[in-house]
């Protein structure tokens, strides 16, 4: 496996935090198109998988999967709005 094959795209700040912030700024729920656009344009870095795991541990939570961001955002949003 080459070094590039071991890299993953890691949103920084987390995608879930970015989506939550953008929704609060908007003042209403994000649409699927908005979520996809935010995902496609968010700041991100390429890191090895083991580094990403350590970053997740330091962060204290797992981010949503960018490849399934709409479904995972809807689930995360329900959890976040409970508070």
What digits encode the pLDDT tens for the residues 28-62? 999 999 999 999 999 999 999 999 999 999 999 88
Query: With a threshold of 0.75, does the pTM exceed it?
Result: yes
Decide which of 80 and 16 is more confident. Answer: 16
Helices then strands, counting H and E runs in the chain, come out as 4, 2
Query: What number of other Cβ atoms are within 10 A of residue 3's Cβ?
Result: 7
Q: Is the preceding peptide bond at 22 cis, omega within 30 degrees of 0?
A: no
Half-sphere exposure at residue 26, Cβ-oriented, CA atoms within 13 angstroms: 13
Spatial contact of 52 and 64, defined as CB atoms under 8 Å apart: no
């Amino acid at each position: 496996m080459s070094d590039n094959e071991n890299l993953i795209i890691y949103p920084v700040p987390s995608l879930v935090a970015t989506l939550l912030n953008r929704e609060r700024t908007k003042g209403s729920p994000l649409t699927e198109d908005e979520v996809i656009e935010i995902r496609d344009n968010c700041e991100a870095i390429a890191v090895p998988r083991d580094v990403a795991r350590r970053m997740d541990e330091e962060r204290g939570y797992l981010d949503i999967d960018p490849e399934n961001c709409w479904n995972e955002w809807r689930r995360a949003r329900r959890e976040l709005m409970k508070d």
